[in-house]
Structure 1
Amino acid sequence: MVDQNIVSDLNKQADAANLVGMLEKIAQQFQGKAVFTTSFGIEDQVITDMIFNNNLDIKVVTLDTGRLFEETYKVFNRTVDKYGKMVEVYFPKHEAVQKMVTEKGPLSFYLSLENRKECCNIRKVEPLKRALAGNECWITGLRASQSENRHDLDFFVWDAGFQLVKFNPLLHWSLEDCQKYVKENNVPYNVLHDRGFVSIGCAPCTRAIQPGEDFRAGRWWWENNSKKECGLHTHQE
Protein backbone atom coordinates (compact mmCIF):
# COMPACT_ATOMS: atom_id res chain seq x y z
CA MET A 1 0.00 0.00 0.00
CA VAL A 2 1.32 3.43 -0.93
CA ASP A 3 2.47 5.75 1.86
CA GLN A 4 1.00 9.26 1.79
CA ASN A 5 4.38 10.68 2.80
CA ILE A 6 5.50 10.12 -0.78
CA VAL A 7 3.44 13.14 -1.88
CA SER A 8 5.95 15.70 -0.58
CA ASP A 9 8.84 14.03 -2.43
CA LEU A 10 6.85 13.82 -5.64
CA ASN A 11 6.01 17.53 -5.52
CA LYS A 12 9.69 18.39 -5.00
CA GLN A 13 10.56 16.40 -8.12
CA ALA A 14 7.72 17.81 -10.25
CA ASP A 15 8.82 19.35 -13.54
CA ALA A 16 6.04 21.42 -15.08
CA ALA A 17 8.06 21.84 -18.29
CA ASN A 18 8.22 18.10 -18.91
CA LEU A 19 4.80 16.56 -18.39
CA VAL A 20 5.56 13.47 -20.47
CA GLY A 21 8.65 12.93 -18.33
CA MET A 22 6.55 13.22 -15.18
CA LEU A 23 4.04 10.70 -16.55
CA GLU A 24 6.90 8.35 -17.45
CA LYS A 25 8.23 8.56 -13.87
CA ILE A 26 4.78 7.84 -12.48
CA ALA A 27 4.42 4.80 -14.75
CA GLN A 28 7.80 3.51 -13.61
CA GLN A 29 7.32 4.28 -9.92
CA PHE A 30 3.86 2.77 -9.56
CA GLN A 31 4.40 -0.13 -12.00
CA GLY A 32 0.94 -1.00 -13.25
CA LYS A 33 -0.85 0.71 -10.37
CA ALA A 34 -1.32 4.12 -11.98
CA VAL A 35 -4.68 4.89 -13.56
CA PHE A 36 -5.97 7.85 -15.55
CA THR A 37 -9.70 8.58 -15.58
CA THR A 38 -10.98 10.34 -18.67
CA SER A 39 -14.34 11.93 -19.44
CA PHE A 40 -13.09 12.82 -22.95
CA GLY A 41 -13.02 16.55 -22.23
CA ILE A 42 -10.25 18.61 -23.81
CA GLU A 43 -7.94 18.35 -20.78
CA ASP A 44 -8.34 14.60 -20.63
CA GLN A 45 -7.66 14.27 -24.35
CA VAL A 46 -4.31 16.04 -23.87
CA ILE A 47 -3.28 13.55 -21.20
CA THR A 48 -4.60 10.57 -23.17
CA ASP A 49 -2.48 11.65 -26.14
CA MET A 50 0.63 11.82 -23.94
CA ILE A 51 -0.02 8.39 -22.43
CA PHE A 52 -0.93 6.56 -25.63
CA ASN A 53 1.65 8.17 -27.91
CA ASN A 54 4.42 7.26 -25.47
CA ASN A 55 3.10 3.76 -24.72
CA LEU A 56 3.16 4.43 -20.98
CA ASP A 57 2.17 1.75 -18.50
CA ILE A 58 -0.81 3.74 -17.26
CA LYS A 59 -4.35 2.37 -17.42
CA VAL A 60 -6.89 4.66 -19.09
CA VAL A 61 -10.46 4.22 -17.85
CA THR A 62 -13.75 6.06 -18.21
CA LEU A 63 -17.06 6.15 -16.35
CA ASP A 64 -20.15 5.68 -18.51
CA THR A 65 -23.04 7.05 -16.47
CA GLY A 66 -25.62 6.10 -19.08
CA ARG A 67 -26.49 9.80 -19.53
CA LEU A 68 -23.59 11.02 -21.68
CA PHE A 69 -23.87 13.22 -24.76
CA GLU A 70 -23.80 11.55 -28.18
CA GLU A 71 -20.81 13.79 -28.96
CA THR A 72 -18.93 12.28 -26.01
CA TYR A 73 -19.42 8.76 -27.34
CA LYS A 74 -18.22 9.92 -30.74
CA VAL A 75 -14.95 11.34 -29.37
CA PHE A 76 -14.54 8.13 -27.35
CA ASN A 77 -14.82 6.16 -30.57
CA ARG A 78 -12.45 8.46 -32.49
CA THR A 79 -9.91 8.20 -29.68
CA VAL A 80 -9.88 4.41 -29.72
CA ASP A 81 -9.60 4.44 -33.52
CA LYS A 82 -6.72 6.95 -33.57
CA TYR A 83 -4.48 5.32 -30.98
CA GLY A 84 -5.48 1.69 -31.26
CA LYS A 85 -5.44 1.48 -27.46
CA MET A 86 -8.03 0.27 -24.98
CA VAL A 87 -10.07 2.54 -22.74
CA GLU A 88 -11.65 0.46 -19.98
CA VAL A 89 -15.27 1.33 -19.22
CA TYR A 90 -16.98 1.26 -15.83
CA PHE A 91 -20.77 1.42 -15.63
CA PRO A 92 -22.93 2.06 -12.57
CA LYS A 93 -24.51 -0.95 -10.90
CA HIS A 94 -27.76 -1.47 -12.74
CA GLU A 95 -29.71 -2.48 -9.63
CA ALA A 96 -29.02 0.88 -7.98
CA VAL A 97 -29.96 2.83 -11.12
CA GLN A 98 -33.16 0.80 -11.57
CA LYS A 99 -34.21 1.35 -7.97
CA MET A 100 -33.55 5.11 -8.07
CA VAL A 101 -35.34 5.70 -11.38
CA THR A 102 -38.25 3.42 -10.47
CA GLU A 103 -38.82 5.13 -7.12
CA LYS A 104 -38.03 8.75 -8.06
CA GLY A 105 -38.33 9.00 -11.82
CA PRO A 106 -35.71 9.72 -14.50
CA LEU A 107 -35.21 13.39 -13.58
CA SER A 108 -35.10 13.25 -9.78
CA PHE A 109 -31.77 15.11 -9.70
CA TYR A 110 -33.54 18.36 -10.65
CA LEU A 111 -35.74 18.25 -7.53
CA SER A 112 -33.17 18.65 -4.76
CA LEU A 113 -29.45 18.80 -4.04
CA GLU A 114 -29.82 15.56 -2.08
CA ASN A 115 -31.33 13.82 -5.09
CA ARG A 116 -28.64 15.16 -7.41
CA LYS A 117 -25.86 13.94 -5.16
CA GLU A 118 -27.57 10.56 -4.90
CA CYS A 119 -27.58 10.28 -8.68
CA CYS A 120 -23.93 11.36 -8.95
CA ASN A 121 -22.98 8.86 -6.28
CA ILE A 122 -24.73 5.97 -8.04
CA ARG A 123 -23.65 6.84 -11.56
CA LYS A 124 -20.15 8.21 -10.93
CA VAL A 125 -18.68 7.86 -7.45
CA GLU A 126 -19.39 4.16 -6.90
CA PRO A 127 -18.05 3.16 -10.35
CA LEU A 128 -14.98 5.32 -9.70
CA LYS A 129 -14.29 3.40 -6.49
CA ARG A 130 -14.19 0.20 -8.53
CA ALA A 131 -12.01 1.80 -11.19
CA LEU A 132 -9.49 2.99 -8.58
CA ALA A 133 -9.48 -0.18 -6.49
CA GLY A 134 -6.03 -1.75 -6.31
CA ASN A 135 -4.29 1.30 -7.75
CA GLU A 136 -1.88 3.65 -5.98
CA CYS A 137 -1.84 6.74 -8.22
CA TRP A 138 -4.83 8.44 -9.81
CA ILE A 139 -4.09 10.82 -12.69
CA THR A 140 -6.68 13.53 -13.43
CA GLY A 141 -7.24 16.39 -15.86
CA LEU A 142 -7.91 18.96 -13.13
CA ARG A 143 -6.66 22.51 -13.70
CA ALA A 144 -6.28 25.16 -11.00
CA SER A 145 -8.25 27.74 -13.00
CA GLN A 146 -11.31 25.52 -13.42
CA SER A 147 -12.94 26.49 -10.14
CA GLU A 148 -12.37 28.11 -6.76
CA ASN A 149 -12.16 24.67 -5.18
CA ARG A 150 -9.13 23.81 -7.33
CA HIS A 151 -7.01 26.95 -6.94
CA ASP A 152 -4.86 25.60 -4.13
CA LEU A 153 -4.10 22.17 -5.55
CA ASP A 154 -0.57 20.83 -5.95
CA PHE A 155 0.68 18.56 -8.70
CA PHE A 156 0.49 15.70 -6.21
CA VAL A 157 -2.00 15.46 -3.35
CA TRP A 158 -3.08 12.69 -1.02
CA ASP A 159 -6.69 11.69 -1.56
CA ALA A 160 -7.82 10.45 1.84
CA GLY A 161 -11.16 9.31 0.49
CA PHE A 162 -9.64 6.88 -1.97
CA GLN A 163 -6.37 6.34 -0.08
CA LEU A 164 -4.03 7.03 -2.98
CA VAL A 165 -1.85 9.68 -4.59
CA LYS A 166 -3.65 12.03 -6.99
CA PHE A 167 -1.57 13.55 -9.79
CA ASN A 168 -2.79 16.65 -11.64
CA PRO A 169 -0.33 17.10 -14.54
CA LEU A 170 -2.25 19.96 -16.21
CA LEU A 171 -2.51 21.92 -12.96
CA HIS A 172 -1.00 25.13 -14.36
CA TRP A 173 -2.31 24.86 -17.91
CA SER A 174 -4.92 27.27 -19.21
CA LEU A 175 -7.84 26.31 -21.41
CA GLU A 176 -5.99 28.02 -24.25
CA ASP A 177 -2.94 25.79 -23.62
CA CYS A 178 -5.15 22.72 -23.98
CA GLN A 179 -6.75 24.05 -27.14
CA LYS A 180 -3.34 24.77 -28.66
CA TYR A 181 -2.03 21.29 -27.83
CA VAL A 182 -5.07 19.57 -29.31
CA LYS A 183 -4.83 21.60 -32.53
CA GLU A 184 -1.08 21.18 -32.98
CA ASN A 185 -1.12 17.44 -32.28
CA ASN A 186 -4.33 16.60 -34.15
CA VAL A 187 -5.94 15.17 -31.02
CA PRO A 188 -9.64 14.18 -31.24
CA TYR A 189 -11.80 16.45 -29.09
CA ASN A 190 -15.42 16.86 -28.17
CA VAL A 191 -17.14 19.22 -30.64
CA LEU A 192 -19.33 20.48 -27.78
CA HIS A 193 -16.31 22.58 -26.79
CA ASP A 194 -16.88 24.58 -29.97
CA ARG A 195 -20.44 25.30 -28.82
CA GLY A 196 -19.60 26.89 -25.48
CA PHE A 197 -19.37 23.75 -23.36
CA VAL A 198 -16.21 24.00 -21.26
CA SER A 199 -16.94 21.27 -18.72
CA ILE A 200 -18.85 18.31 -20.11
CA GLY A 201 -20.63 15.75 -17.96
CA CYS A 202 -24.03 14.08 -18.18
CA ALA A 203 -26.32 15.53 -20.84
CA PRO A 204 -29.22 16.53 -18.54
CA CYS A 205 -26.82 18.26 -16.14
CA THR A 206 -24.59 20.22 -18.50
CA ARG A 207 -25.12 23.34 -20.61
CA ALA A 208 -22.95 25.79 -22.52
CA ILE A 209 -21.75 28.85 -20.61
CA GLN A 210 -22.15 32.48 -21.63
CA PRO A 211 -19.24 34.95 -21.98
CA GLY A 212 -18.12 36.05 -18.53
CA GLU A 213 -19.73 33.13 -16.70
CA ASP A 214 -17.73 31.00 -14.28
CA PHE A 215 -16.10 27.88 -15.74
CA ARG A 216 -18.36 25.60 -13.69
CA ALA A 217 -21.57 27.54 -14.40
CA GLY A 218 -22.62 25.01 -17.01
CA ARG A 219 -22.61 22.10 -14.58
CA TRP A 220 -25.76 21.53 -12.47
CA TRP A 221 -26.82 24.93 -13.74
CA TRP A 222 -30.08 24.98 -11.77
CA GLU A 223 -28.23 24.94 -8.43
CA ASN A 224 -27.23 28.24 -6.83
CA ASN A 225 -25.69 27.23 -3.52
CA SER A 226 -23.59 24.22 -4.48
CA LYS A 227 -19.82 23.99 -4.83
CA LYS A 228 -20.52 22.33 -8.18
CA GLU A 229 -18.69 19.06 -7.53
CA CYS A 230 -20.14 15.60 -8.00
CA GLY A 231 -18.04 13.88 -5.33
CA LEU A 232 -15.21 12.58 -7.50
CA HIS A 233 -12.85 15.40 -6.52
CA THR A 234 -13.34 16.45 -2.92
CA HIS A 235 -9.63 17.09 -2.26
CA GLN A 236 -9.65 15.47 1.15
CA GLU A 237 -6.14 15.41 2.60
Structure 2
Amino acid sequence: MSTNTLRLTAEEVNKLNEEYLGKSPQEILRLAFDTFGNIAFACSFGAEDVALVDMIVKIKPDAKIFYLDTDVLFDETYLVRDQILAKYSANLIKYSPLLTLEEQAEQHGDNLWATDANACCNIRKVEPLTRALSTLDAWITGIRREQAPTRANAGVIEVDQKFNLIKFNPIALWSDKDVWNYMADNEVPYNKLHDQGYPSIGCIHCTRAVKPGEDPRAGRWADQSKTECGLHK
Protein backbone atom coordinates (compact mmCIF):
# COMPACT_ATOMS: atom_id res chain seq x y z
CA MET A 1 0.00 0.00 0.00
CA SER A 2 1.15 3.53 -0.67
CA THR A 3 2.24 5.69 2.23
CA ASN A 4 1.45 8.88 0.31
CA THR A 5 -0.30 11.74 2.09
CA LEU A 6 -3.35 13.25 0.41
CA ARG A 7 -2.89 16.86 -0.64
CA LEU A 8 -6.64 17.43 -0.80
CA THR A 9 -9.19 16.46 1.81
CA ALA A 10 -12.04 14.09 0.94
CA GLU A 11 -14.43 17.04 1.27
CA GLU A 12 -12.39 19.11 -1.19
CA VAL A 13 -12.26 16.20 -3.63
CA ASN A 14 -16.03 15.67 -3.43
CA LYS A 15 -16.62 19.36 -4.08
CA LEU A 16 -14.31 19.34 -7.11
CA ASN A 17 -15.96 16.18 -8.42
CA GLU A 18 -19.38 17.82 -8.28
CA GLU A 19 -18.02 20.93 -9.99
CA TYR A 20 -16.26 19.03 -12.79
CA LEU A 21 -18.78 16.27 -13.53
CA GLY A 22 -20.19 18.28 -16.41
CA LYS A 23 -16.87 19.52 -17.75
CA SER A 24 -14.84 18.14 -20.65
CA PRO A 25 -12.02 15.61 -20.17
CA GLN A 26 -9.56 18.30 -21.24
CA GLU A 27 -10.77 20.63 -18.48
CA ILE A 28 -10.41 17.82 -15.94
CA LEU A 29 -6.90 17.06 -17.20
CA ARG A 30 -5.89 20.72 -16.94
CA LEU A 31 -7.14 20.74 -13.36
CA ALA A 32 -5.11 17.60 -12.66
CA PHE A 33 -1.88 19.03 -14.07
CA ASP A 34 -2.43 22.48 -12.53
CA THR A 35 -3.08 20.98 -9.10
CA PHE A 36 -0.46 18.24 -9.01
CA GLY A 37 3.08 18.41 -10.31
CA ASN A 38 3.71 14.86 -9.23
CA ILE A 39 1.07 13.05 -11.27
CA ALA A 40 1.11 10.32 -13.94
CA PHE A 41 -1.25 8.59 -16.32
CA ALA A 42 -1.54 4.79 -16.16
CA CYS A 43 -1.91 3.57 -19.74
CA SER A 44 -3.01 0.08 -20.76
CA PHE A 45 -3.15 0.96 -24.49
CA GLY A 46 -6.86 0.16 -24.68
CA ALA A 47 -9.21 2.46 -26.61
CA GLU A 48 -9.90 4.76 -23.67
CA ASP A 49 -6.26 5.10 -22.78
CA VAL A 50 -4.91 5.90 -26.24
CA ALA A 51 -7.61 8.57 -26.57
CA LEU A 52 -6.38 10.04 -23.29
CA VAL A 53 -2.75 9.92 -24.45
CA ASP A 54 -3.78 12.12 -27.39
CA MET A 55 -5.46 14.61 -25.04
CA ILE A 56 -2.67 14.57 -22.48
CA VAL A 57 0.24 15.24 -24.86
CA LYS A 58 -1.69 18.13 -26.41
CA ILE A 59 -2.09 19.68 -22.95
CA LYS A 60 1.24 18.68 -21.37
CA PRO A 61 3.71 17.11 -23.83
CA ASP A 62 6.11 16.02 -21.08
CA ALA A 63 3.45 14.44 -18.87
CA LYS A 64 4.53 11.22 -17.21
CA ILE A 65 2.78 8.19 -18.72
CA PHE A 66 3.49 4.69 -17.46
CA TYR A 67 2.40 1.19 -18.37
CA LEU A 68 2.61 -2.25 -16.78
CA ASP A 69 4.37 -4.82 -18.94
CA THR A 70 3.23 -8.16 -17.56
CA ASP A 71 5.39 -10.07 -20.09
CA VAL A 72 2.20 -11.72 -21.39
CA LEU A 73 0.58 -8.89 -23.31
CA PHE A 74 -0.73 -9.43 -26.84
CA ASP A 75 1.55 -8.64 -29.79
CA GLU A 76 -1.11 -6.14 -30.88
CA THR A 77 -0.72 -4.31 -27.57
CA TYR A 78 3.02 -3.94 -28.04
CA LEU A 79 2.38 -2.75 -31.60
CA VAL A 80 0.04 0.05 -30.53
CA ARG A 81 2.52 1.00 -27.80
CA ASP A 82 5.15 1.50 -30.50
CA GLN A 83 2.69 3.44 -32.66
CA ILE A 84 1.85 5.73 -29.74
CA LEU A 85 5.55 6.35 -29.12
CA ALA A 86 6.15 7.13 -32.79
CA LYS A 87 3.18 9.50 -33.12
CA TYR A 88 3.44 11.39 -29.84
CA SER A 89 7.01 10.96 -28.54
CA ALA A 90 5.30 10.38 -25.20
CA ASN A 91 7.21 10.26 -21.92
CA LEU A 92 6.46 6.55 -21.58
CA ILE A 93 7.78 4.57 -18.61
CA LYS A 94 7.64 0.78 -18.30
CA TYR A 95 7.09 -1.05 -15.01
CA SER A 96 7.72 -4.81 -14.96
CA PRO A 97 6.98 -7.49 -12.35
CA LEU A 98 9.75 -8.30 -9.88
CA LEU A 99 9.49 -11.96 -10.96
CA THR A 100 10.14 -13.20 -14.46
CA LEU A 101 7.67 -15.75 -15.81
CA GLU A 102 10.24 -18.47 -15.14
CA GLU A 103 10.73 -17.36 -11.53
CA GLN A 104 6.99 -17.17 -11.02
CA ALA A 105 6.61 -20.74 -12.32
CA GLU A 106 9.37 -21.95 -10.01
CA GLN A 107 7.79 -20.34 -6.95
CA HIS A 108 4.09 -20.77 -7.69
CA GLY A 109 3.83 -23.50 -10.32
CA ASP A 110 3.10 -23.36 -14.01
CA ASN A 111 0.12 -21.42 -15.35
CA LEU A 112 -0.60 -19.46 -12.17
CA TRP A 113 -3.12 -17.40 -14.16
CA ALA A 114 -5.24 -20.56 -14.40
CA THR A 115 -4.76 -21.91 -10.87
CA ASP A 116 -4.91 -18.60 -8.99
CA ALA A 117 -5.67 -15.61 -11.20
CA ASN A 118 -5.72 -13.20 -8.27
CA ALA A 119 -2.22 -14.20 -7.23
CA CYS A 120 -0.99 -13.83 -10.80
CA CYS A 121 -2.52 -10.35 -11.10
CA ASN A 122 -0.99 -9.35 -7.77
CA ILE A 123 2.48 -10.35 -8.97
CA ARG A 124 2.31 -9.07 -12.53
CA LYS A 125 0.04 -6.02 -12.14
CA VAL A 126 -0.78 -4.86 -8.64
CA GLU A 127 2.74 -4.89 -7.21
CA PRO A 128 4.24 -3.02 -10.21
CA LEU A 129 1.39 -0.50 -10.05
CA THR A 130 1.95 0.00 -6.33
CA ARG A 131 5.60 0.68 -7.08
CA ALA A 132 4.69 3.13 -9.84
CA LEU A 133 2.27 5.03 -7.62
CA SER A 134 4.41 5.02 -4.48
CA THR A 135 6.04 8.37 -5.20
CA LEU A 136 3.04 10.12 -6.76
CA ASP A 137 0.45 12.46 -5.29
CA ALA A 138 -2.21 11.67 -7.90
CA TRP A 139 -2.85 9.50 -10.94
CA ILE A 140 -5.01 9.55 -14.06
CA THR A 141 -6.93 6.57 -15.44
CA GLY A 142 -9.16 5.76 -18.40
CA ILE A 143 -11.93 4.00 -16.48
CA ARG A 144 -15.52 4.70 -17.49
CA ARG A 145 -18.78 4.09 -15.63
CA GLU A 146 -20.19 2.23 -18.61
CA GLN A 147 -17.44 -0.43 -18.55
CA ALA A 148 -18.60 -2.49 -15.58
CA PRO A 149 -20.90 -2.43 -12.52
CA THR A 150 -17.79 -2.09 -10.36
CA ARG A 151 -17.10 1.25 -12.06
CA ALA A 152 -20.66 2.55 -12.26
CA ASN A 153 -20.15 5.16 -9.55
CA ALA A 154 -16.67 6.35 -10.53
CA GLY A 155 -16.18 10.07 -10.11
CA VAL A 156 -14.16 12.23 -12.45
CA ILE A 157 -12.12 13.12 -9.35
CA GLU A 158 -12.07 10.86 -6.31
CA VAL A 159 -9.99 9.63 -3.42
CA ASP A 160 -8.35 6.32 -4.24
CA GLN A 161 -8.63 4.58 -0.89
CA LYS A 162 -6.50 1.62 -1.94
CA PHE A 163 -3.43 3.67 -2.84
CA ASN A 164 -4.21 6.78 -0.77
CA LEU A 165 -3.97 9.07 -3.78
CA ILE A 166 -6.18 11.49 -5.65
CA LYS A 167 -7.47 9.76 -8.77
CA PHE A 168 -8.66 11.51 -11.93
CA ASN A 169 -10.97 9.67 -14.33
CA PRO A 170 -11.46 12.32 -17.06
CA ILE A 171 -13.70 10.21 -19.31
CA ALA A 172 -15.68 8.46 -16.55
CA LEU A 173 -18.95 9.71 -18.04
CA TRP A 174 -18.08 9.03 -21.68
CA SER A 175 -19.86 6.38 -23.71
CA ASP A 176 -18.12 3.87 -25.94
CA LYS A 177 -19.30 5.97 -28.90
CA ASP A 178 -17.67 9.08 -27.41
CA VAL A 179 -14.33 7.26 -27.20
CA TRP A 180 -14.40 5.99 -30.77
CA ASN A 181 -15.61 9.30 -32.19
CA TYR A 182 -12.71 11.06 -30.50
CA MET A 183 -10.19 8.54 -31.83
CA ALA A 184 -11.56 8.83 -35.35
CA ASP A 185 -11.59 12.64 -35.26
CA ASN A 186 -8.01 12.76 -34.00
CA GLU A 187 -6.59 9.79 -35.93
CA VAL A 188 -5.44 8.03 -32.77
CA PRO A 189 -3.67 4.65 -33.24
CA TYR A 190 -5.54 1.84 -31.49
CA ASN A 191 -5.22 -1.86 -30.69
CA LYS A 192 -6.53 -3.81 -33.68
CA LEU A 193 -7.90 -6.51 -31.36
CA HIS A 194 -10.77 -4.08 -30.78
CA ASP A 195 -11.84 -4.86 -34.36
CA GLN A 196 -11.88 -8.58 -33.56
CA GLY A 197 -14.34 -8.61 -30.66
CA TYR A 198 -12.04 -7.55 -27.82
CA PRO A 199 -13.56 -4.45 -26.16
CA SER A 200 -11.38 -4.98 -23.08
CA ILE A 201 -7.82 -6.25 -23.50
CA GLY A 202 -5.56 -7.65 -20.80
CA CYS A 203 -3.06 -10.48 -20.82
CA ILE A 204 -2.99 -13.27 -23.40
CA HIS A 205 -4.03 -16.09 -21.08
CA CYS A 206 -6.91 -14.26 -19.40
CA THR A 207 -8.56 -12.43 -22.30
CA ARG A 208 -10.87 -13.75 -25.01
CA ALA A 209 -13.13 -12.19 -27.60
CA VAL A 210 -16.61 -11.20 -26.44
CA LYS A 211 -19.64 -12.87 -27.99
CA PRO A 212 -22.55 -10.80 -29.33
CA GLY A 213 -24.74 -9.59 -26.47
CA GLU A 214 -22.15 -10.28 -23.77
CA ASP A 215 -20.95 -7.71 -21.27
CA PRO A 216 -17.93 -5.76 -22.63
CA ARG A 217 -15.72 -7.23 -19.89
CA ALA A 218 -17.02 -10.80 -20.28
CA GLY A 219 -13.81 -11.68 -22.08
CA ARG A 220 -11.68 -10.91 -19.05
CA TRP A 221 -11.07 -13.91 -16.76
CA ALA A 222 -13.84 -15.79 -18.55
CA ASP A 223 -15.53 -18.57 -16.54
CA GLN A 224 -14.20 -17.08 -13.30
CA SER A 225 -15.94 -14.85 -10.75
CA LYS A 226 -13.10 -12.38 -11.11
CA THR A 227 -13.93 -9.13 -12.96
CA GLU A 228 -11.11 -6.78 -11.92
CA CYS A 229 -7.36 -7.28 -11.69
CA GLY A 230 -7.07 -5.25 -8.49
CA LEU A 231 -5.81 -1.98 -9.95
CA HIS A 232 -9.15 -0.28 -9.39
CA LYS A 233 -10.95 -0.99 -6.13
Paired amino acid for 2:122: N
Which of 72, 77, 88 lines up with 2:93 in the alignment?
88
What is the CA distance between 1:98 and its match in structure 2?
4.0
Paired residue for 1:21? 27
1:46 aligns with 2:51: yes
Q: Percent identity?
A: 41
- Matched residues in 2 for 1:154 and 1:16: separation? 11
Looking at structure 1, the residues matched to 120 and 195 of structure 2 have their Cα atoms a distance apart, in angstroms, of 28
Q: What is the Cα deviation at residue 151 of structure 1?
A: 0.9
1:27 maps to a residue whose letter is F
Q: Return the alpha-carbon distance in structure 1 between the equivalents of residues 48 and 110 of structure 2.
A: 30
**How far is 1:107 from its partner?**
1.4
1:56 Cα deviation (Å)?
Answer: 5.1
Q: Where in structure 2 are the equivalents of 1:183-222 lying within 5 Å?
A: 183-222=184-223
User: Deviation digits for residues 39-67 of structure 1, max 9, x if unmatched?
Assistant: 00000011110011222563110000000
TM-score, normalisation: structure 1: 0.90
Counterpart of 1:140?
141
Once the two structures are TM-superposed, the CA of residue 139 in structure 1 deviates from its matched residue by 0.7
- 2:40 is equivalent to residue 35 of structure 1: yes
1:67 aligns with 2:72: yes
In 2, the alpha carbon distance for the partners of 1:173 and 1:22 equals 13
> Separation in 1 of the partners of 2:34 and 2:110?
44
Mapping 1:50-199, distance limit 5 Å: 50-55=55-60, 58-94=63-99, 97-111=101-115, 115-199=116-200
SS in 2 for 1:48: helix
Displacement after TM superposition at 1:84 (Å)? 1.5
C-alpha change, 1:200 and 1:125, in structure 2 (3 Å) is same
Distance 2:62 2:30 in 1: 8
User: Partner letter of residue 13 of structure 2?
Assistant: V
Instruction: Measure how far apart 1:108 and its partner are.
Output: 2.3
Partner of 1:9: 15
Equivalent position SS for 2:67: strand
Letter in 2 for 1:183: A
Q: What is the SS of the residue equivalent to 2:91?
A: coil
Residues 99 and 123, structure 2, Cα contact 8 Å, conserved in 1 = no
Q: Check conservation: 2:65, 2:90, Cα contact below 8 A.
A: no
Letter aligned with residue 35 of structure 2 = Q
Three-state SS of the structure 2 residue aligned to 1:75 is: helix
- Please give the per-residue CA displacement for 1:56-81, whole angstroms capped at 9, x wherever unaligned: 56311000000000000000000000
Partner of 1:233: 232
Deviation at 1:13, TM superposition (A): 2.8
The number of aligned residues is 227
TM-score norm. by structure 2 comes to: 0.92
Gaps of 5+ in 1: none
Q: Is the 8 A contact 1:27 1:57 kept in 2?
A: no
